[in-house]
Amino acid sequence: MDKRVLILGATGFIGTHLVESAKESSFEIFAAYRKEQNYPILKKNADQLIKIDFEDLPQLRKNLETHSFDAIVYNAGLTSANGYEDYKKVNCDYLIELLQLIKKLKKRPEKLVYISSLAAMGPAEQQKDQILRPDSPLKPISHYGKSKAAAEFALQNQCPIPYCIIRPTAVYGPRDKGLLDIFKALNRRLNIQISTKAQELSFIYVKDLSRLILLAIEHAEHKNIFLAANAPVYSANNFNKVIKKQLGKKSLKIKLPFNFVRLIAVLNEKLSKLTGKHPKLDREKLKEITSHSWKCDVSNLSKINYKSEYNLQQGICETIQWYKHNHWI
């Protein structure tokens, strides 16, 4: 009998790819949605769609009891918000509510997989050996990272079932809007960078991450933490070079002073208070994108027999093809 897997946060960038990847697996996939975002993708690939709203806990409990899920992937979360409390509500408080509901179930799921972030750890330069490891102390530097760290703490202290934590690095791929502006600028022959010291950046292609999550669902060990990244590390300049090569374009390199970019971030924050829209760049995001290193040790991924199928060149190529086909660049 196929395992019943509930994917919370199925409508987003990572979630839709996870549902697509799971279509070829032995799982029976239940994709949770609240709004109609990406509904056609989910309808095409999921076995069942479930409307879930964390503001309606009785209905959520009913869904958990009715379907008796074997595993839950908690991929719900905010990556941009106006303050810590907004991040915490979705990234942490909703998770705590789910854990309390699971405790009340007669038949509990066998496993919960929580999709966290390297941001929960903070950059590698804060660690003694200058590298992020699964057991490194959490030192988040942003509201987003702090909310993810709070969620991990809650999970480790309140989860009534076996769980694992996956901390992805920067994720890219088709349908991603997070790194889209970089692709757009380079497509216009503009290589815009912030003046900082040389960085060590890590990335993972969204299809590799999806496969990693599916492997983690079936892994029997309890309380595992996996850092999700593909080797090697890149500088921002090298990352941009790969994109330019795949686009077949040269570019004009423009280095923006850090204080100038910080001023833009401040202005974005003030504007967001008037419009109610979360800015792509604020001071919190600036802390993360200008950190020196996000180098991490992923050696324990061998526990779940994970090996990346995409190198950076292959992933960037597929991403650009999708962006062009869908007229995003």
d(CA 214, CA 28): 12
Tokens for 76, please give them.
């719900």
So what's the pLDDT on residue 17?
96
Reported as a pLDDT band with limits 50, 70 and 90, residue 1 is low
- CATH T-level fold of 4-176+202-232+294-310: Rossmann fold (3.40.50)
Which residues lie closer than 8 Å to 46 by C-beta, 6 or more apart?
A: 7, 10, 19, 23, 29, 30, 31
Which tens digits make up the pLDDT trace of 235-245? 888 999 999 99
Mean pLDDT value across residues 98-103: 96
Which tens digits make up the pLDDT trace of 7-41? 999 999 999 999 999 988 889 999 998 877 777 88
Residue ranges covered by each domain of the chain: 4-176+202-232+294-310
Which tens digits make up the pLDDT trace of 80-92? 888 899 999 999 9
Quote the mean pLDDT of the chain. Answer: 92
pLDDT above 60 (res 101): yes
So what's the pLDDT on residue 219?
84
Least-confidence region, from 115-119, 272-276, 282-286 = 272-276
**Contact assessment for residue 3 and residue 71, using Cβ atoms and an 8 Å cutoff:** yes
Q: How far is CA 101 from CA 98, 105, 115, 152, in A?
A: 5, 7, 19, 17
pLDDT above 60 (res 325): yes
Half-sphere exposure of 257 toward its Cβ, with a 13 Å CA cutoff? 3
pTM comes to 0.93
Which tens digits make up the pLDDT trace of 35-51? 777 778 888 999 999 98
Whole-number CA gyration radius for the chain: 20
pLDDT above 90 (res 277): no
Tell me if residue 244 falls in helix, strand or coil.
helix
φ/ψ bin of 17: left (φ > 0), alpha (ψ from -120 to 50), beta (otherwise)? alpha
* DSSP of 271-289: HHHHH-PPPSS-HHHHHHH
Which tens digits make up the pLDDT trace of 123-179? 999 999 999 999 999 999 999 999 999 999 999 999 999 999 999 999 999 999 999
